[in-house]
Amino acid sequence: MTKGPTIGIRRLPHAEGLELPAYASSGAAGADLRAAVSEDLTIPPLGRALVPSGLVFDIPEGFEIQVRPRSGLAARHGVTVLNAPGTVDCDYRGEVMAILVNLSAEPFTVTRGERIAQLVVAPAPQARFAEVESVGETARGAGGFGSTGRA
């Protein structure tokens, strides 16, 4: 398996004792991110919460970390990452948090150390944007929002 970049992590005091992000299997694309809440946090139905990780990441230039939902939370509890995927830019040096939303009809309680999201490290090159007189033709053309979906 190809190894990616090394991501430095600074642990904030409220994350003491929690596991650092880790991959659950050898083929996992996402590393689990844990909740660094000091007490249980209940998200009401259709509510949202900014859940701290207690971690600051040193991401190499040319990469990003994507904060994505955990499929088990979504399937079993209707809880997902609101801005999925959330992007952590390589020059951000604040605490990474997950914006969780509870789309179910029942309250959901986040507990300390619970796996709340997954982190995917991805290349993120900066493109050059240039104004042009015309753009190339494609089979799809200007079709959008469902133009290639159900008939």
pLDDT at 3: 83
Boundaries of domain holding 106: 8-123
Distance of CA 81 to the CA centre of its chain: 7
Give per-residue pLDDT as tens, 85-106: 999 999 999 999 999 999 999 9
pLDDT digits (tens, 9 = 90+) for 7-56: 999 999 999 999 999 999 999 999 999 999 999 999 999 999 999 999 99
Q: What is the mean pLDDT of the chain?
A: 95
Three-class SS of residue 34? strand
Domain contains 49: yes
CA–CA separation, 53 and 14 (whole Å): 9
Contact 14, 54 (CB under 8 A): yes
Q: How many CA atoms lie within 13 A of 79 on its CB side?
A: 26
pLDDT band at 74 (very low <50, low <70, confident <90, very high): very high
pLDDT at 150: 64
2 marked as binding residue: no
For residue 72, name the pLDDT band (cuts at 50, 70, 90).
very high
- The separation between CA 105 and the C-alpha centre of its own chain, rounded to angstroms, equals 23
- Residue 80 within a domain: yes
Q: Is residue 79 part of a domain?
A: yes
The answer to whether 27 and 76 have CB atoms below 8 angstroms apart is no
Number of domains the chain is built from: 1
Report the CATH number that the domain containing residue 23 is assigned in CATH.
2.70.40.10
The answer to the question of residue 146 being in a domain is: no
Question: What is the Cα gyration radius of the chain?
Answer: 19
Would the annotation count 58 as a binding residue? no
Is 141 inside any structural domain? no
To the question of whether residue 32 is assigned a binding role by annotation, the answer is no
User: What is the token pair recorded at 135?
Assistant: 């753009």
Q: Is 88 annotated as ligand-binding?
A: yes
Over residues 100-114, the mean pLDDT reads 98
Is position 53 annotated in a ligand binding site? no
pLDDT at 2: 63
Binding site annotation covers 102?
no
- Is 48 flagged in the annotation as binding? no
- Residue 148 covered by a domain: no
